[in-house]
Amino acid sequence: MKLMRELARNKYIYFMLLPVVAYYLIFLYSPMYGLQIAFKDFSPAKGIWSSEWVGLKHFISFYHSFFFGRLIRNTLLISFYELIFSFPAPILLALLLNELRNRFFKSVVQSITYLPHFISMVVVAGMMVDFLAADGLVNRLTSMFGASPVSFLIRPEWFRTVYVASGIWQGVGWGSIIYLAAIAGINPTLYEAARADGAGRFRQMLHITLPGIMPTVVIMLILRCGSLLSGGSMEKILLLYNSTTYETADVISTFVYRRGLLQMDYGFSAAIGLLNNVVNFIMLLSANAISRKVSEHKLW
């Protein structure tokens, strides 16, 4: 009865929630039925139920494959570089924007840094290809200082740098929004008390702003740890990499794409994708458990 009264009282709110629930059920939960092909020698002609059960064959085959070490190394390195360089960038930008007192200049900087987020990934990749070509803008600028032209996107040692740097450029402004919102929620009387005690702006940022946004930082860090084996944006890597950069650019998600869709080895690619998601889930649980033990901030 209590549940029925609650539903009747807030029926319009639950009606608004229905499209979101339907989206998750249709596009995220119902496809889990197909996860069983990770344990089968799947054939589209036979269907999921009639395909031969092979157990852990695909997982063992992936572990013993030639590409296993390279895929794990590249995925972890790209995720680690994003964690070290891309994750703090929006935080630093939000702190710097918070210190600006000229409202017009602050609005201009925010608009400029937000805009790249709305550029299509295909367009961003095209810009990178043009700018970083042997006769592109970057090489023309560096040649003015006597540097030799470098074909960045066909040099394996440059791929991770290009990927992480372009990701920071595209996402730093948009990512700073959540931290600016957290800063706006800090009690202004704390700053007034700090100024009365003689604290400068740097000390206010260090002892008030940073602790004030720390719960948000921890939550975002935990969520980021839950996608460490995703290896960044698969679409972006697919658009930027080529056969000459597989050595440093090929990650688990791109390998799954090539093996599953291009080579039509659905069972093998499903097994790799399932393993990837399970490990990500375990890392998310571990990060939350560690945060819960060492601090007061946690995701749940």
For residues 153 and 159, is the Cβ–Cβ distance under 8 A? yes
Measuring CA to CA, which residue among 65, 95, 80 is closest to residue 259? 65
The whole-angstrom separation of Cα 234 and Cα 252 is 9
pLDDT of residue 44: 85
The answer, yes or no, to whether residue 183 has pLDDT greater than 80, is yes
The model's pLDDT over 40-75, given as tens digits with 9 standing for 90+, comes to: 988 888 888 888 999 999 999 999 988 899 999 999
Q: What are phi and psi of 53, to 5 degrees?
A: -80, 125
The answer, yes or no, to whether residue 160 has pLDDT greater than 90, is yes
pLDDT of residue 231: 65
The whole-angstrom separation of Cα 211 and Cα 225 is 21
The model's pLDDT over 229-277, given as tens digits with 9 standing for 90+, comes to: 776 678 899 999 888 999 999 999 899 888 888 888 889 989 998 888 8
Q: What is the pTM of this model?
A: 0.85
How big is the chain by its Cα radius of gyration, in Å? 24
Count of C-beta atoms within a 10 Å radius of residue 37: 22
pLDDT of residue 298: 77
